[in-house]
Structure 1
Amino acid sequence: MSKPYPIGEANKPWQASHKQQWLSQQQIKRSYTNDVVTQIQQFADSFTIIEYGMLEYAQHTYPLFAIKTKDWQDHKPTILVTGGVHGYETSGVHGALAFVRDSAKPYETHFNIIVLPCISPWGYETINRWNPDAIDPNRSFYKNSPANESRLAMDFVQAHNHNMLCHVDLHETTDTDNSEFRPALAARDGIENHNWNIPDGFYLVGHTQKPQPDFQKAVITNVAKVTQIAPADEAGKLIGVPLEQFGVINYDGTALGLCMGMTDAPYVTTTEVYPDGAAATPQNCIDGQVAAVKGALDYLIEHNA
């Protein structure tokens, strides 16, 4: 379905020289400072802003920020929202920021809230799934992680892991998954890619160890008010995975090293938006992300979770 990837040899994993060749082709295409950090700074009067780490790559240094509700009380359950684990997934970053700006404050009565809006700023700037070491941060949330983006986020979250109730991780599935990222992955690992499905709309990935189907349904129902939910393909699957219910599939987030598996929260979900759909706009993708977070929190409040 795609042309052979221009780096490496078929059926042979990349060596260090191939990774360096890949890195040399990456270019800065947008500004983390202008697009993201400036927005975070505007929240300083209403939220606590914490610089939780620094990514230092050749010629590029990125401060990492967490946003916390100011009325932090240990007896409240904690909510974690993450965006930009894959930096190229734009609405994940800007959905997290929009949630803080427009919607988070009323929930402070019920929850402590932490938002990590852009875990992979180099990926944001270069519109990449990987970090400069050709590592996928969203397969690297485990002990002694090879991805600094994942390790720094885990270290910060672990220090606030008391009473963690819910984690919503904001992502996208894009046409570039097929034109670039799936072929690059296959080339890097010396394998053949067999999944080319890109769902046309929004869907959720629950955790197989704690699927919480009623919770996932509530989130999907709220998102459906603002954007299209992806239908299953002719095999009843999304991205090659059997459907659990309308708009929901499950992964073992912990075993796969996914961001959604990094806490012991009983309620977790990963959102997936399709920004390249005919009916999609940057704004309704962001609106879908915000609706997912609000749907999750409204469900938890309604059910006294």
Structure 2
Amino acid sequence: MIDSRPYPIGRLHTPWNDAEKAAWRASTRIQRSYQSEVVNAIRALADRFELLQYGALSYDPERYPLLALKSPGWHQDKPTVLISGGVHGYESSGVHGALTFARERVQDYQDRFNLIIAPCISPWGYETINRWNPNAVDPNRSFYPNSPAQESAALMRLIESLQVELLAHIDLHETTDTDELEFRPALAARDGVEYVPGIIPDGFYLVGDSDKPEPEFQAAMIAAVRQVTHIAPADDQGNIIGSPLQQPGVINYPTKKLGLCAGLSDAPFVTTTEVYPDSPSATAEQCNQAQVAAVCAALDYLNATEE
């Protein structure tokens, strides 16, 4: 069924022009502080990691430095794993799950892996609780050469500068009620198409890479997260967000083709986590801990396969 409610910006069948993008940008507002909630938390870990500033957003370079943590004991002979969060800035547990892992669990893995933790790829999106950047560009569809999103381009430059091949990339996300209430209607309006409502999955799920699905890797994370929060069931068509279920709690996307963050490298093991913080059966802290459980399970699986 097609929802006929008009989005307040734009016209049906007509993609947004610059004036409409500006009107959308003017409708956003700062709702929380990247500096106090994220930058300070990252800098508090500087005595335990190598702190990397890999850029700053041109929208406000002082307000939006791009920061990552590089684990101690870095050695070229160790496998390297990237943990990223906040590609969609509004997805809070992606950011705070990455920070929680860095604070509480990284010491369990730093002897076996080189770890790069980039907790908040999109700080403007974090502050405005938004999926896009100020130019109405989705960073999580922009991980390709000559990216239109400076957030995505900066992370790709960071990984290239390390001159390592990633063994794995775990990208931490959420699916929220606002996906259907705001972000997908805005996307339809931006692109000049009709908005067709979808179904928000109630629970945790993973998005693997259809070109290298690694089902046992995904299953190990699902098993671990199941101890923390519930796993999203398929809908009546056997899908999650329109994609066929591959195993409990797992669907696959072509990550490189779609320009997703999880497809930024040629790492053989990749996944995108999705938690549902609006569920009546999950708290914000459970969502953070579900992200941590997924990361730890991924690293445990990789460690067992490397031995």
Q: Identity across aligned pairs (percent)?
A: 57
Report the alpha carbon displacement of residue 195 of structure 1 after superposing the two structures with TM.
4.8
Structure 2: how far apart are the matches of 1:3 and 1:66?
41
In the other structure, the counterpart of 2:5 is: 3
> How has the CA–CA distance of structure 1 residues 157 and 195 changed in structure 2, closer, same or farther, with 3 Å as cutoff?
farther
3-state SS, counterpart of residue 200 of structure 2: coil
CA distance in 1, matches of 2:150, 2:61: 16
| 2: CA distance, partners of 1:246 / 1:223 | 12
**140 and 17 in structure 1: CA distance in 2 versus 1, 3 angstrom threshold:** same
Per-residue displacement from partner, 1:261-292 (whole Å, max 9, x unpaired)?
Answer: 00111000000010000111110000000001
Deviation at 1:2, TM superposition (A): 6.7
The within-5 A match list for 1:116-127 is: 116-127=118-129
Question: What residue is the counterpart of 2:160 in the other structure?
Answer: 158
- Match for 1:96: what amino acid? A
Question: Which residue does the alignment assign to 1:42?
Answer: 44
1:214-252 superposed Cα distances (whole Å, 9 cap, x missing partner):
100001101111011000001000001110110000000
- Using the alignment, how far apart are the partners of 1:99 and 1:24 within structure 2? 35
Any residues of structure 2 matched to 1:122-271 within 5 Å, and which?
122-271=124-273
How far apart in 1 are the matches of 2:28 and 2:121? 19
Kindly state the Cα deviation for residue 56 of structure 1 after the two structures are TM-superposed. Answer: 1.9
8 Å contact 1:81–1:167 — kept in the other structure? yes
Q: Determine the structure 2 residue equivalent to 1:28.
A: 30
Contact 1:91 1:285 in 2 (8 A): yes
| 2:95 partner amino acid | V
Name stretches of at least 5 consecutive residues in structure 1 with no aligned partner.
none
The 8 Å contact of residues 85 and 118 in structure 1, kept in 2 or not, is answered as: yes
Specify the code of the residue in structure 2 equivalent to 1:212: E
Cα pair distance change 1:2/1:301, threshold 3 Å: farther
Deviation of 1:11 after TM superposition, in Å, equals 1.4
Change (3 A) 1:59 1:27: farther
- 1:103 aligned partner: 105
User: What TM-score results when the alignment is normalised by the length of structure 2?
Assistant: 0.97
SS at match of 2:20: helix
Does the 8 Å contact 1:76/1:163 carry over to 2? Answer: no
The answer (yes or no) to whether the contact 2:184–2:195 under 8 Å persists in 1 is yes
CA distance in 2, matches of 1:222, 1:189: 39
- Preserved contact between residue 195 and residue 239 of structure 1 (Cα < 8 Å): no
Shift of 1:160: 2.1
Report what 1:85 is aligned to: 87
Give structure 2 stretches of 5+ with no counterpart.
none
CA contact (8 A) 2:213 2:252 kept: yes
Q: Deviations over 1:142-163 (max 9, x none)?
A: 0000100000010001122513
Q: What is the CA–CA distance in structure 1 between the aligned matches of 2:125 and 2:57, rounded to whole Å?
A: 12
Q: Which amino acid aligns with 2:23?
A: Q
SS of aligned partner of 1:53:
strand
Length-normalised TM-score, structure 1: 0.98
Say if 1:88 and 1:129, in contact at 8 Å, map to a contact too: yes
Whether the 8 Å contact between 2:180 and 2:197 is mirrored in structure 1 is no
Query: Does 117-126 or 160-169 show the bigger shift?
Result: 160-169
Number of corresponding residues: 305
